[in-house]
């Protein structure tokens, strides 16, 4: 049976470097599972693989969408499965998926609930309301229409709140009613490798990465994206904080510190999500040789 190796972990842990080693060892391309690296205009703020890294190993789903394009986990699932079926597994028995977007990884590995695609008019209407009325107004409506989801959704994540409300308004049903979480069978074996570091080590890497992004030109990148600031793609740490700075709400130093703080918060959320999955085999990113041996052993056992 074909095998999909998944390398996952929190932001700034070191997934890109290890994924390149694994991909070259297995002689396979990398399917990117970072929901923001997919957008072409955001390479600095998303720490996307560099052109040089992409020359070393072919990457799918890096810089292939425009920030105005609509994308969700369900669409990504369909595109990723199609890529595996048509482009990779016909030629080799192992593929590599790497990233930190929890829902995108889950979508490929176990499927995602069959939630309707939102109509353009509803999406446009709610995008405008978010801009005019703010998130609190939409949260109050979600509380009325789907109190169960209101109690669990991240109240600071406009994208999640808006999407749930879109489904409620389009279907007349609760968003909760579409979330059955029934795993879908896959025609390939899945081997999950989780990367983690001691918490203080991660904090330090995050802080230094943000400073490096600023040095690389993140401010100019964010300024160039101001016309698209209401798009889902830009409801993202690193851009929201700089947009507030451009609006005169914070100093640049305050924006940088908020990016670092919010990235650390997101990292903790990722780890909480991943730790629920008992099928993940955890390693420190410096254990590259151990990871390669483990994968080779698992693939050999699978072939026997």
CATH of the domain at 131: 1.10.20.140
Per-residue tokens: 140: 């109050």
> What stretches of the chain show up as alpha helix (H) in DSSP?
15-26, 51-56, 73-83, 102-110, 120-133, 135-145, 147-150, 158-171, 199-216, 218-224, 240-246, 252-275, 288-303
What integer pLDDT is reported at residue 235 of this predicted model? 87
Range of the domain at 170: 120-178
Task: Count other C-beta atoms under 10 Å from residue 82's C-beta.
Answer: 10
What integer pLDDT is reported at residue 304 of this predicted model? 64
Residue 66 DSSP class: -
Same domain, 152 and 236: no
CA dist 217 and 210 (Å) reads: 11
β-pairing, 3-8 with 189-195?
parallel
Same domain, 56 and 197: yes
Same domain, 97 and 157: no
Domain edge (last residue) among 133, 149, 178? 178
Q: What is the mean pLDDT of the chain?
A: 94
CA dist 101 and 47 (Å) reads: 13
Output the pTM of the full model: 0.84
CA dist 291 and 195 (Å) reads: 10
Same domain, 56 and 191: yes
What integer pLDDT is reported at residue 232 of this predicted model? 84
> Please, are residues 227 and 243 in contact by the beta-carbon 8 Å criterion?
no
pLDDT of 181 strictly over 70? no
What integer pLDDT is reported at residue 82 of this predicted model? 98
What integer pLDDT is reported at residue 40 of this predicted model? 97
């Amino acid at each position: 049976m074909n095998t999909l190796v998944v390398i996952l972990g929190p932001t700034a842990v070191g997934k890109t470097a290890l994924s390149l080693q694994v991909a070259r060892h297995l002689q396979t391309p990398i399917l990117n599972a970072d929901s923001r690296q997919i957008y072409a205009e955001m390479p600095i703020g998303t720490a996307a693989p560099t052109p040089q890294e992409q020359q070393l190993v072919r990457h799918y789903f890096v810089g292939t969408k425009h920030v105005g394009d609509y994308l969700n986990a369900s669409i990504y699932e369909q595109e990723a499965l199609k890529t595996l079926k048509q482009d990779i597994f016909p030629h080799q028995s192992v593929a590599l998926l790497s990233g930190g977007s929890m829902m995108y990884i889950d979508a490929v590995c176990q499927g995602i609930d069959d939630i309707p695609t939102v109509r353009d008019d509803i999406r446009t209407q709610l995008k405008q309301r978010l801009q005019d009325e703010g998130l609190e107004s939409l949260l109050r409506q979600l509380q009325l229409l789907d109190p169960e989801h209101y109690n669990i959704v991240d109240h600071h994540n406009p994208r999640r709140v808006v999407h749930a409300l879109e489904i409620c308004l389009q279907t007349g049903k609760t968003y909760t009613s579409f979330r059955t979480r029934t795993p879908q069978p896959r025609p390939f074996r899945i081997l999950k490798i989780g990367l983690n570091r001691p918490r203080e080590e991660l904090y330090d890497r995050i802080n230094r990465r943000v400073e490096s992004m600023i040095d690389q030109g993140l401010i100019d990148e964010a300024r160039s994206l101001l016309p698209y600031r209401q798009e889902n793609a830009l409801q993202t740490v690193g851009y929201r904080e700089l947009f507030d700075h451009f609006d005169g709400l914070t100093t640049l130093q305050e924006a940088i510190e908020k990016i670092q703080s919010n990235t650390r918060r997101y990292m903790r959320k990722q780890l909480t999500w991943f730790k629920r999955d008992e099928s993940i085999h955890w390693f420190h990113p410096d254990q590259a040789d151990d990871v390669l041996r483990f994968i080779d052993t698992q693939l050999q056992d699978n072939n026997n």
